[in-house]
Amino acid sequence: MAWTVATRVGIDLVDVDEVREGLRSFGDRYVARLLTSAERAAVRPEADIACHVAQVFAAKEAVLKALGADVSQVAWTMVEVFPAQDGNWVSVQA
C-alpha cells in the first residue's frame, strides 16, 4: 500500500501594532495564550517583545496552515517555534 503525503506551504503576516495593543491591554495573559513557557524563556532581554511575539505567532500560524490544521480548533501553545542565534527560525515542534 502506498502512502501519499500532501505538500503544503504556510505563510502568515502579523501586524506588530496589533500585538503591541494586545500586550498593552492584557499583558502577560496575552503572551501566555500565544507562547509556551519555553518560548517565553527564549526571548532575549534586549528584544522588542511585541516584535518577537508577532514573529513567533506568524511562524506558528504558518506551521498550522502547512499542516492543514484548523487554526480555530488548535491552542497556540501546541506548536513551539524557536529562533536560532543568527535570527533564522530553525526548530518547530507540533
> What pLDDT, in 10s, does the model give residues 16-70?
999 999 999 999 999 999 999 999 998 887 889 999 999 899 988 888 888 888 8
Q: For residue 82, how many other CB atoms are within 10 A of its CB?
A: 15
| Residues 6 or more apart whose Cβ sits within 8 Å of residue 12 | 58, 59, 61, 62, 65
**Residue 9 included in any domain:** no
Highest mean pLDDT range out of 7-16, 48-57, 84-93?
48-57
Residue 88 pLDDT greater than 80, yes or no: no
For residues 25, 29, 42 and 60, what is the CA-based torsion angle, rounded to 10 degrees?
-90
**How many domains does the structure of the chain reveal?**
1
**Residue 72 included in any domain:** yes
Backbone angles phi, psi at 90, to 5 degrees: -120, -20
Distance of alpha carbon 65 from alpha carbon 34, whole angstroms: 16
Residue 3 pLDDT greater than 70, yes or no: no
Tell me the mean pLDDT in the region 3-24. 83
**Residue 3 included in any domain:** no
**Residue 53 included in any domain:** yes
Q: Which residue range is the domain that position 38 belongs to?
A: 16-93
